[in-house]
Structure 1
Amino acid sequence: MQKDMRMFLLYTIILFFSSMLILRLFYIQVLRGSFYLKKAESQRIGPVVDNLKGEIYDRNGEPLTGSYYETYAIISPRWLSNSQKKLLIEKGILNSSGAEKPQNIKICQENYDTIRDLMGKTPGVFIYKKKVAYGPSALATHVVGYKNQTGIEKNFEKILNNLGVKNTIISDGFGQPIPGAIQQYKEATGGIKLTIDKNIQVIVEQVMDERVPMGAVVILDAKTGEVLSMASRPNYKQYHIEEYLNREDAPLINRAIEAFSPGSIFKIVVLSAALEEGITDLDEKFYCPGFIKVGGNIFKCESYDRGGHGEITLKEATARSCNTVFIQLGLRLGKQKILEYAKRFGLGEKTLGDLPEEKPGFIPTAQNVYYQDIGNISIGQGPIQLTPLQAAQMVLAIVNDGILIKPHLTMEIVEADGRTVPLPSSQEKKRVVSEKTAKMVKQALQDVTRYGTGINAMPSPSLGESAGKTGTAEIGKNKYHAWFVGYYPVKSPRYIISVFLEKGGSGPVKAAPVFRDIIEKLNLHK
């Protein structure tokens, strides 16, 4: 009887503790399973070897950041023999003060042979590739931006960060990487796709490096308004940003979206307004003595030293960029109409919504423009300012028969799995001038490059004709901004190209040849 009682008590105790164990296991594995799983994961995940954000691509899915890979080694001293540790310390590869902690070492020419010799002899050396976000071959740096501070990177910071991945090493309880248990390296494939064409961007930047020390170039698709290229100079390297912060030439500024005095390219607006209002025609004859007086101001034409252009038609005056004739047109129009048409062309307001640094330019109100100021605004001087991007938009409207199309820069979000989500772009189109007026303006712009101030923008005869307008904006004594904005080819235009050289001198001499070189190189590489 006592024996049975003892057996009963024994079975009861076993059953009790077994039940407690089962309940505890149920609590750990079922009720608190996810909590302990995460805790275990956090203990075994070692150092983050890469923290990648989403890429920025051109229209064809090509990265613009110039990213590349460098080779690194994670060296785990606990997996090394004493002689191996001693060797690495003597070679300066391992830090002796923290010799027991895993160390992340960039492989270079000096340490390559030593680390390579250890491969296969010890599990304590693990080689992996690390992606470097910015490289020497980066393009459109002012558009892309840097470190979420400017450009597309700033505007789409949250999206790019969400599309990124962290690559880590799986470690043991001592924090040492486990041989054979390295987490598979993941490539960040998501990002933002732009309208920029990498091939066109390369050509533009090559030409600018040869001819544009300070300025900008913008190329738009003549039919859609898509930004095919946008570049600014001086350029900068995103991976050495600290070297550019205090430079006087301000290389971090995107001059393609900064506002400057336009000079004679603004005559496109004045010509369009005068033709649209019916106060002149291309064949009307004017007289240019080389200067004109407005109020108390005397405005000289470029022909002043030669005694003026004499009798000249409006079409010829556009080709020769005659200030005298255009100031006469401005006086006929009046300040209200000039400023109204400037607004119609989208001047004085931002063009894109994707670049936080973009400036709206400046078109004054009529009440702040006095009679004598009409001479200045008629030839793009005085308070009027516009960006190289806005200059391209101005010609885009003329090429599209008087209809203003808003340029756009972004296409879609590329998800990590390859799926794409279109980004909204303005489909707004509005008529600026009639088709008849736009046709007459195009005729005048064609003569600019055929025999006028833009002759240096005309490509080789075999490549067809270009058209456009030069500008030389006076900004101080013997200081001028150089401009050329136009389209190519004349028949079925494909490109709108805006060229700007800050303090670059003469538009016909400095800006027009840049336009020509870009066209010729585009044809060479198509």
Structure 2
Amino acid sequence: MSPRKRITMHDHAAEASLFKRRALFTFACVIIMVAILLGNLYHLQVTSFTDYSTRSDDNRIRVLPLPPSRGLIYDRNGVLLAENQPFYSLELVPEKIKDMNATLDGLAAIIEISDEEREDFTKSLKHHRRFKPLTLKSRLSEEEVAIFSVNQHNFPGVEVEAGLKRHYPFGGTLTHALGYVGRINSRDREALERSGEWSDYAGTKFIGKQGIEKFYEPILHGKPGHLEEEVNNRGRSIRTLKVVEPKPGQDIYLTIDLKLQQKAMELLDGRRGSIVAIDPTDGGILALASSPSYDPNQFVHGISGKAYSELLNNRSRPLINRATQGQYAPASTVKPIMALLGLEDGAVTEKTRIWDPGFWQIPGVEHKYRDWKRWGHGWVDVYHSIVDSCDTYFYDLAYKLGITKISEFMTQFGFGQPSNVDIYEEASGIMPSRDWKRARYKQPWWIGDTISVGIGQGYWTTTPLQLAAATAILANKGKRFTPHLMKAMTQEDGTLKTPTDEMPPLVLKNPKNWDIINNAMRQTAHKSRFNDANYTAAMKTGTAQVFSVAQDAKYDADNIDENLKDNALIVAYAPYEKPTIVLAVVLENAGWGGANAGPIARAMLDEYILREPKEQPKK
């Protein structure tokens, strides 16, 4: 009997349900995949369009910074003091040069390259990014540029760069006022990065290092621009796409009178010293001369190590700005202000007289404080004390006043503190006090210290600028201005802005005291250097000792070392009725103030007051 055939029953409903679920799952997967694809497309085409577009452009668009041209500097009469001159430099890109030594040898064969230039280049190469150009020679003549251009095909990775470089047409005449610019170094970059200003120096290689150039760097530098150009896969330029022009730095005008500055440097004639002249009507500095000086152009182009070492080790210290950093005992130049304090305090009156036998003693003490006139001046009042510069009078006055009153009063004239002049290179000097000596030397203040301060000696030191500013307050009868070098600056609309910083005036209890002191200074001038002048002037000389002479010893200028000779000083202003110029002169180790600094003061005032109005300075 044959086997029975098995019959399979199909559940069509179940199969249909299973197929439907599988179809829905497959469709859902397709939808999800399409959604993911569309999402990625949206992300690429919309959300990240800018990012990927920029990346694409970076492969074909090169952005080159365009450095701004530096602002020019003029004197108060519009004479150009700092300009920009075209220059050519030889630049090498290390990563494009296969054999650096062979390249350097080949360049030296056609262009004069000193051993020092090559050595400096080699040293800089060790810490330099290989894809950035590095300067081998900073000053190429037009002949050298032409020679290299003919041979450039033999030196891949070497190019001549053209640009503008700072130039100071008057050389060392204005160095300590103008300062100079130099190449940006690592310290400059760190400072710019900390201040968030590094981006403003894209393409810029120079920055202000000293003086006005440094103080007004943000104004003079300007803002960089940029150039966008399309390049091929080899980096060669195809076309320029966009140019954003740089914003040039602002031009500035100084209060400096170039002709007067030139006269000051001529009178100093390389001797160690300083001359400062101020316009008392607004505090503008007319002359800021420090001698000896140096040519700032050598720092712009890159000073050699040997030349810098010579400046640094020079015993006359030409790198120091004596006008603002030199610290000298003011000596008798501050006697008028001491007398003014005595009148204000009531320690003396206009008619008070003392007897001067040629010395003064602290009561109960044997030590004698000698007057410069060994036989004395006899009876002396406030007028004669200034006109004859009687030391004994001021020994006695200082004893009556005490150091606290002296220090507090002199501080109001700017002694012992920065003048806030618009250059960074400034010393504050020393206006001694009890607290100052205890903090500095951990010693008490002795009465003998006060006696020395009474004639502008002892611990008291001042800068020529401080001395001129204090004399300006006397000439102005209490009106005070912050000394400044900036007169005006150019604005975008072409107008000029003149900053003036007037401080609260110094008010006396008895304004007549101003007239007493100024009249005594006028008598001093009439009695000596200005008795035949065509204008009225006021002055006070000073002779500052740089070492102490023993009690019974005699100062012998002919038999001591030059660096131990007295400093010669003078302060003066004119015209007496309405002053337009105040000056201070300091000559180091020159001897007697009246004989040595006096003729310089007379020549300076003659130059400024009697000059022809249309006469212009020469380069």
Matched, 1:274 2:342: yes
Equivalent-residue separation in structure 2 for 1:171 and 1:137 (angstroms): 44
Matched, 1:64 2:64: no
Q: Identity of paired residues, percent?
A: 26
Q: Is the 8 A contact 2:225 2:247 kept in 1?
A: no
Q: Is the 8 A contact 1:50 1:131 kept in 2?
A: no
Match of 2:290 among 232, 256, 268: 232
Equivalent-residue separation in structure 1 for 2:227 and 2:596 (angstroms): 52
Other structure's SS at 2:62 match: helix
One-letter code of the match for 1:490? Y
CA drift of 1:310 comes to 2.7
Aligned to 2:533: 461
Equivalent-residue separation in structure 1 for 2:57 and 2:502 (angstroms): 45
Aligned to 2:166: 133
Deviations 1:95-137 (A, max 9, x none): 9xxxxx999985537547868999xxxxxxx999643214352
Seen in structure 2, the aligned counterparts of structure 1 residues 422 and 402 have a Cα distance that, compared at 3 Å, is closer
Seen in structure 2, the aligned counterparts of structure 1 residues 375 and 133 have a Cα distance that, compared at 3 Å, is same
Matched, 1:370 2:446: yes
Other structure's SS at 2:597 match: helix
Equivalent-residue separation in structure 1 for 2:165 and 2:318 (angstroms): 22
Matched, 1:43 2:62: yes
Greater Cα shift, 338-347 or 483-492:
338-347
Q: Is the 8 A contact 1:411 1:422 kept in 2?
A: yes
Matched, 1:257 2:257: no
Other structure's SS at 1:430 match: coil
Q: CA RMSD in A?
A: 4.5
Seen in structure 2, the aligned counterparts of structure 1 residues 237 and 112 have a Cα distance that, compared at 3 Å, is same
Alignment of 1:102-501 (within 5 A): 106-108=139-141, 111=144, 130-135=163-168, 137-138=170-171, 139-146=173-180, 147-161=207-221, 163=222, 165=224, 188-208=248-268, 210=269, 213-238=271-296, 239-240=298-299, 243=308, 244-258=311-325, 259-294=327-362, 295-304=365-374, 307-366=375-434, 368-415=444-491, 418=494, 425-431=501-507, 434-452=510-528, 455=529, 458=530, 461-462=533-534, 464-476=535-547, 478-501=564-587
Aligned to 2:11: none
Seen in structure 2, the aligned counterparts of structure 1 residues 496 and 114 have a Cα distance that, compared at 3 Å, is same
Greater Cα shift, 339-348 or 256-265:
339-348
CA drift of 1:40 comes to 7.6
One-letter code of the match for 2:571? V
Equivalent-residue separation in structure 2 for 1:115 and 1:374 (angstroms): 71
Deviations 1:239-271 (A, max 9, x none): 245522332322222111222211111212211
Q: Is the 8 A contact 1:50 1:130 kept in 2?
A: no
* Uncovered stretches (5+) of structure 2, i.e. residues with no partner: 1-41, 93-105, 114-131, 152-158, 181-206, 436-443, 549-563, 614-619
Q: Is the 8 A contact 2:344 2:510 kept in 1?
A: yes
CA drift of 1:403 comes to 3.1
CA drift of 1:335 comes to 2.9
Equivalent-residue separation in structure 2 for 1:168 and 1:509 (angstroms): 64
Seen in structure 2, the aligned counterparts of structure 1 residues 355 and 94 have a Cα distance that, compared at 3 Å, is closer
Equivalent-residue separation in structure 1 for 2:276 and 2:517 (angstroms): 21
Give the TM-score of the pair, scaled to structure 2.
0.64
Deviations 1:362-381 (A, max 9, x none): 11224654222232111001
Q: Is the 8 A contact 2:231 2:239 kept in 1?
A: no
One-letter code of the match for 1:474? Q
Give the count of matched residue pairs: 476
Seen in structure 2, the aligned counterparts of structure 1 residues 519 and 66 have a Cα distance that, compared at 3 Å, is farther
Seen in structure 2, the aligned counterparts of structure 1 residues 91 and 468 have a Cα distance that, compared at 3 Å, is same
Seen in structure 2, the aligned counterparts of structure 1 residues 279 and 424 have a Cα distance that, compared at 3 Å, is closer
Q: Is the 8 A contact 2:276 2:468 kept in 1?
A: yes
Other structure's SS at 1:64 match: strand
Q: Is the 8 A contact 2:68 2:248 kept in 1?
A: no
CA drift of 1:413 comes to 4.9
CA drift of 1:435 comes to 2.8
Equivalent-residue separation in structure 2 for 1:520 and 1:34 (angstroms): 71
